[in-house]
A and B are shown apart, each in its own frame.
Chain A
Amino acid sequence: MEKFVDPCCEKCSHTKDTPCKDFVECCVEGPICHENQECAQKRKNITEKVALDEKFVIS
């Protein structure tokens, strides 16, 4: 998962053709539709790479 739009695992179905209503929240707080530490970490990796400081991410 390099970008938020990439699926974290096979459970993520969001694409432009099969949209998920929770996609925006899911980017930073996800995964929302299932529980998985690894999937959460994948999202965290994306934010940690570019967040300038601890105030950067706004939930």
Chain B
Amino acid sequence: MYEKHLMICGATGCLSSGSNQIAEALKEELDKQGIKDKYRLVMGGCPGFCEVGPIIVIYPDEVFYCRLQTKDMAELVETHLIGGEIVEKLLYKGPDVEAPARFYDSIPFYFKQKFNVLRNSGIIDPESIDEYIMRGGYRALRRALQMEPLAICDEVKDAGLRGRGGAGFPTGVKWSFTNKAPGPKKYIVCNADEGDPGAFMDRSILEGDPHAILEGMLIAGRACGADEGYIYCRAEYPLAIRRLITAIQQAEEYGLLGSNILDSGFNFKINIKEGAGAFVCGEETALLASIEGKRGMPRPRPPFPAQVGVFGKPTTINNVETLANIPLIVREGGVAEFASVGTEGSKGTKVFALAGKVRNTGLVEVPMGITIEEIIFDVGGGIQGGREFKAVQAGGPSGGCIPQDLINLPIDYDSLTQAGAIMGSGGLVVMDDRTCMVDLANYFLSFTQKESCGKCTPCREGTKRMLEILDRITEGEGVPEDLDTLDSLAHSIKDSALCGLGQTCPNPVLTTIRYFRHEYEEHINEKFCRSGICKPLFQYQIDQENCNGCRACVRVCPVEAIKGEKKEPHEVIQELCTRCGSCIEKCRQDCIMITRVGSEADVGN
């Protein structure tokens, strides 16, 4: 028996901040002290709080150590493991806690979270099927094997589960379509082609709890009458793929995958298909083409995949997070428990990748219906540097921008759609008052434009024309008619693009025009970017009254564009200034102002 379990976050986020080296240093230290057999070290799944990684949680004490460095390991071993005392300096500290916090229940980041999908992440060894079984794993499969397939579809319908990949279609209804489609050969496809910039929900689920996905696929197979499945995962997720391969091998060894599973007569096999990273392959028909070895391009529907899917056979395609919810629903009493969380039209929880200008970045799982304010301020800890919240981009590059005015908007499928955004796969990018919304729309549209597969004209040509207009506006060459042209092009693309990605890609432009029209007008009519992002549309000026001549800006300017004597107000030489922003970041007096080109107006920073 082990005295303690040392759960180290072994997900990609913490690995990139050095958790492998932490594990090595810890092993070395335990070895040096001759106590390595007393402790169990596990590279577990993601506990979500990526901002403070690398993380170790020590059980059964439940102590949460964060921002670890290899040099801390000697003290952690000597003080905590040998001495039995908590190492205070390695605990979570922040403006949201009065004293260093010991564990989840004392860290505000976790207060409003509810772990359904991430229930095992950071708790089990993701490479152990035994631990998954100990946590109730494969019980829902066992139950599903005793049920009629359509009864499983009905339970999933009754639970109110909607697809977590973007569109929010009711999962049980989708399953029943495939079930009723004629033919003996059917497929289940797990869409793990997570392509939104900054999104890593699916990756974390796959890395932290791969058996949950296999169990979800098996149950889907039973419900739909399928005997084979594909997991389509991007090759940039090598750890997720490695853990899936291990999980599949284990499930086969245990007789939970393969022929006559649990003596039920049900057969199911799972294949992994690695994608090359094209954004469009997240679209279901493009994904199916890619599995078949063809170029990843969408095709018109109908026929829908439930009738004609991969290799021409009826196919159900579900996202990773959708499938991870299935074992919770199909287990005994699962429907009522699942449906007890969320709103009328959006049941359960949703996992979001919280990124941008928020203090606590990371992976969060919250009940549907939580407000934007709660996510950003209670879970996310507010805006970095105490600045003002301006907007949040929900749903990835095809999502929409929700402004500060709608901060009380509940996060559910219907409310987001009404606001012009989409749930998408769950990316939430938070913006502060220094974000230029025209530049932001330009950024997201340039992403979707580059990733357009080119098959349909509205998306291929329309996004290009829209991008040209946005480029002109950010360069100071916008004309008043541009807004109407953008609006008209955006609606044309929405109405006529071939696939969901094309139809939603104008969303960032439409929502920023809807909620931040004045910024577009300021760019076009006054040739001014008050956020100080579009370089041709502003200049830096130093407030002569407040500058104390500390020379911090002079020292940091890479092109020597600031002049002035020590203790005398400085001045920006506009002809030399490249508007790199180094000075404004460095100034402690807040006396570098963003002003109109050639003007003396005081706008403030």
**Contact present for B134 and A56 (CB under 8 Å):** yes
**Contact present for A19 and B263 (CB under 8 Å):** yes
Q: Which single residue of chain A is at the shortest CB-CB distance from B61? A: A53
Write out the residue numbers on chain B whose beta carbons fall within 8 Å of the beta carbon of A53.
59-60, 62
Check A58/B136 contact, CB under 8 A, given A21-B263, A50-B131.
yes
Write out the residue numbers on chain B whose beta carbons fall within 8 Å of the beta carbon of A33.
none
**Bound complex: CA of A3 vs CA of B134, how far in Å?**
12
A24, A27, A57, most chain B CB atoms within 10 A: A24
Check A58/B60 contact, CB under 8 A, given A3-B130, A24-B262, A49-B2.
no
Q: Which single residue of chain A is at the shortest CB-CB distance from B7? A: A52
Q: For the complex, would chain A's binding face be called helix, strand, loop or mixed by DSSP majority?
A: loop
* Interface size class, chain A: 20 to 34
Which residues of B (1-52) have their CB < 8 Å from a CB of A?
Answer: 1-2, 5, 7, 40
Which residues of A (13-57) have their CB < 8 Å from a CB of B?
Answer: 14-17, 19-21, 23-25, 27-28, 46-53, 56-57
**Bound complex: CA of A46 vs CA of B133, how far in Å?**
11
**Contact present for B142 and A25 (CB under 8 Å):** yes
Q: Is residue B455 within 8 Å, beta carbon to beta carbon, of the partner chain?
A: no
Q: For the complex, would chain B's binding face be called helix, strand, loop or mixed by DSSP majority?
A: mixed
Interface string of B143-163 (1 = CB under 8 A from A): 001000000000000000000
Interface string of B46-71 (1 = CB under 8 A from A): 00000000000001101000000000
Shortest distance from the beta carbon of B360 to any chain A beta carbon, whole Å = 24
**Contact present for B139 and A25 (CB under 8 Å):** yes
Q: For B130, give its contact among A15, A19, A25, A46 (CB under 8 Å).
A: A46
**Contact present for A24 and B59 (CB under 8 Å):** no
Q: Is residue B199 within 8 Å, beta carbon to beta carbon, of the partner chain?
A: no
Q: For A16, give its contact among B5, B7, B258 (CB under 8 Å).
A: B258
Check A56/B135 contact, CB under 8 A, given A15-B255, A16-B252.
yes
**Contact present for A20 and B263 (CB under 8 Å):** yes
Write out the residue numbers on chain B whose beta carbons fall within 8 Å of the beta carbon of A28.
133-134
**Bound complex: CA of A58 vs CA of B134, how far in Å?**
6
**Bound complex: CA of A50 vs CA of B130, how far in Å?**
9
Q: Is residue A5 within 8 Å, beta carbon to beta carbon, of the partner chain?
A: yes
**Bound complex: CA of A58 vs CA of B130, how far in Å?**
12
**Contact present for B142 and A19 (CB under 8 Å):** no
Q: Is residue B389 within 8 Å, beta carbon to beta carbon, of the partner chain?
A: no
Write out the residue numbers on chain B whose beta carbons fall within 8 Å of the beta carbon of A14.
255
Check A19/B260 contact, CB under 8 A, given A4-B254, A52-B123, A56-B123.
yes
Q: Is residue B575 within 8 Å, beta carbon to beta carbon, of the partner chain?
A: no
Q: Is residue B418 within 8 Å, beta carbon to beta carbon, of the partner chain?
A: no
Write out the residue numbers on chain B whose beta carbons fall within 8 Å of the beta carbon of A52.
5, 7, 59-60, 123
**Contact present for A59 and B136 (CB under 8 Å):** yes
Shortest distance from the beta carbon of B496 to any chain A beta carbon, whole Å = 50
**Bound complex: CA of A14 vs CA of B255, how far in Å?**
8
Check A16/B254 contact, CB under 8 A, given A24-B139, A24-B141.
yes
**Bound complex: CA of A56 vs CA of B464, how far in Å?**
54
**Contact present for B135 and A5 (CB under 8 Å):** no
Q: For A24, give its contact among B62, B128, B133 (CB under 8 Å).
A: B133
Interface string of B392-430 (1 = CB under 8 A from A): 000000000000000000000000000000000000000
**Bound complex: CA of A23 vs CA of B128, how far in Å?**
17
Shortest distance from the beta carbon of B587 to any chain A beta carbon, whole Å = 49
**Bound complex: CA of A34 vs CA of B196, how far in Å?**
52
Shortest distance from the beta carbon of A16 to any chain B beta carbon, whole Å = 4
**Bound complex: CA of A41 vs CA of B255, how far in Å?**
23
Q: Is residue B175 within 8 Å, beta carbon to beta carbon, of the partner chain?
A: no
Check A57/B134 contact, CB under 8 A, given A49-B2, A52-B60, A52-B123.
yes
| 25 chain-A/chain-B pairs, Cβ below 8 angstroms | A4-B129, A4-B130, A5-B254, A14-B255, A15-B255, A16-B258, A19-B260, A19-B261, A21-B262, A21-B263, A24-B133, A24-B138, A24-B142, A27-B133, A47-B134, A50-B40, A50-B125, A50-B128, A50-B131, A52-B7, A52-B60, A56-B135, A57-B135, A58-B135, A58-B136
Residues of B that sit less than 8 Å from A by CB: 1-2, 5, 7, 40, 59-60, 62, 123, 125, 128-131, 133-136, 138-139, 141-142, 145, 252-256, 258-264
Given contacts A17-B255, A20-B262, A52-B60, 12 further A-B contacts (CB under 8 A): A4-B133, A16-B253, A16-B258, A19-B255, A23-B254, A23-B255, A27-B133, A48-B1, A50-B40, A50-B130, A50-B134, A58-B135
- 7 nearest CB pairs, A to B: A58-B136, A16-B255, A52-B59, A21-B263, A53-B60, A19-B255, A19-B263
